[in-house]
């Protein structure tokens, strides 16, 4: 096939399919420059890909919501432990905090 005939088929394939020059040439060469066959194969392949894309990815599994872990509690330092509502001698409790970072104050 002459290069001008190839160029014409490539342009016609591109006009119909909207592909790049390289992609049009690839499809036509794969079909021995049979324009209708190349076009049918192109649209068949893209239609199969479109239906898979339309279906979308499978749904994500549901997120298992779990309650947050309990906050560790420690007795409050320096408290007498006397509570009007309780008869026991336990000191009041407070959430356990991370140790303080030492800091240097400049005055």
Task: Check residue 55 and give its pLDDT.
Answer: 53
Report for 16-20, 49-53, 72-76: range of highest mean pLDDT:
16-20
Higher pLDDT, residue 35 or 54: 35
Query: At 7, is the pLDDT very low, low, confident or very high (cuts 50, 70, 90)?
Result: very high
Nearest to 77 by CA among 61, 65, 93: 93
Q: What percent of the chain has pLDDT over 90?
A: 35
CA end-to-end distance (rounded Å), the chain: 91
pLDDT at position 75 over 80: no
Task: Check residue 72 and give its pLDDT.
Answer: 73
DSSP state of 105: -
Task: Check residue 37 and give its pLDDT.
Answer: 93
Q: Which residue has the tokens 């240097």?
A: 104
**Domain residues of the chain, as ranges?**
6-55
Q: Which fold has domain 6-55?
A: Helicase, Ruva Protein; domain 3 (1.10.8)
Higher pLDDT, residue 84 or 29: 29
């Amino acid at each position: 096939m002459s290069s001008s005939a190839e160029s014409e088929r490539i342009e016609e394939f591109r006009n119909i399919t909207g592909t790049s020059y390289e992609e049009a040439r690839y499809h036509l060469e794969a079909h021995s420059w049979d324009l209708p066959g190349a076009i049918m194969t192109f649209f068949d392949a893209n239609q199969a890909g479109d239906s898979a894309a339309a279906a979308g990815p499978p749904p994500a599994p549901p997120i298992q919501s779990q309650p947050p872990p309990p906050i560790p509690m420690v007795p409050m330092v320096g408290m007498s432990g006397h509570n009007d509502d309780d008869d026991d001698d336990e000191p009041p409790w407070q959430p356990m905090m991370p140790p303080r970072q030492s800091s240097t104050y400049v005055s």
